[in-house]
Each structure stands twice: as C-alpha cells, then as structure tokens.
Amino acid sequence: MLLVAVVGMTVASVLGRYLFGVPIPGDYELTELACGIAVFAFFPHCHVTRGNVVVDFFTSRLRPRYRTVLDGVHAMAFTAVAGLVTWRLFVGGMRKLEDGETTLFLEVPMHSAYLAALVSAGLLTAVCVLVIYRHFQALRR
C-alpha cells in the first residue's frame, strides 16, 4: 500500500507540475523515505516464503539432505547479516534522533524512517531464526 501511495503521489505531483506549475512539495523526499521503508517491509515475507532468488546450478545435483545442510548454513549466515543490519539501523536511528536530522524541504525527522525500517529488520532477524529451526527440523526427518 505504501508503494501504491507513492505512485499516486508521484502522478499527482507530475500532473500538478505539468498542468498548474505546482508540484507536490517534497515529493522526492517522501518517495525516498517510503521506498526505503517498503523495501525493508518486504524482506521478512520474502524470506519466510522462500521468495529469494536462488542460484542452484552447482547444488542441484546434491542429495536433498546435503542441500538442506547447505541451506541451513546459508540461513545461519543470513541471520547474522540480518542481525547486523538490525543493530546498525538501531544505532543509526538513535544517532539521527540525537542529532535531530531532518529532510531538506519537509523537515521530516530522519530517525522515523530508520526506526520504521528497524521494525522490519528485527522481524527479518526473527524470521531467519525460524528458517534455521525449519532446516534443523528437516534434518531430523
């Protein structure tokens, strides 16, 4: 819904600029913030539904058990990366909050975008732990 709103705002801004010479002020800032938040919002769903792109050229011939082990190792690495991103979003968001940094035209506080992405990154980290658990369950069978 956030991306649909961005598309609507962009169309309205372009039409306003073309027809009346008055674009929506700060449309670029809003687009930038909303797209960043939306990207992070998709990560947990994509990972839990196995929607990520997988190149299995070398692993397609492995036995299913070995593929499961390899997928489990990948899941652990991705969990570490997701945890690192979550931690850095928290640190960055706190710094933006302390500094009081805002966008140039609309003066939207930058920490709000960081903290919105932080929620999704935290959820991604939790989903990664769930995926690891699923791999361990598959290995037990």
50-95 pLDDT, tens per residue?
888 777 778 888 898 999 999 999 999 999 999 999 999 999 999 9
Report pTM: 0.85
State mean pLDDT over 36-42: 92
**Closest C-alpha among 40, 47, 37 to residue 127:** 47
**Average pLDDT in the chain:** 93
Q: Which residue has the tokens 């960043």?
A: 36
Show the domain range for 28.
2-140
The CA-CA-CA angle for residues 116, 120, 125, to 5°, reads 140
Domains in the chain: how many in total?
A: 1
d(CA 121, CA 117): 6
Residues facing 102 on adjacent strands: 109
Q: Give residues with Cβ within 8 angstroms of 96, minimum separation 6.
A: 109, 110, 111, 114
Tokens of 13: 């801004």
d(CA 116, CA 99): 18
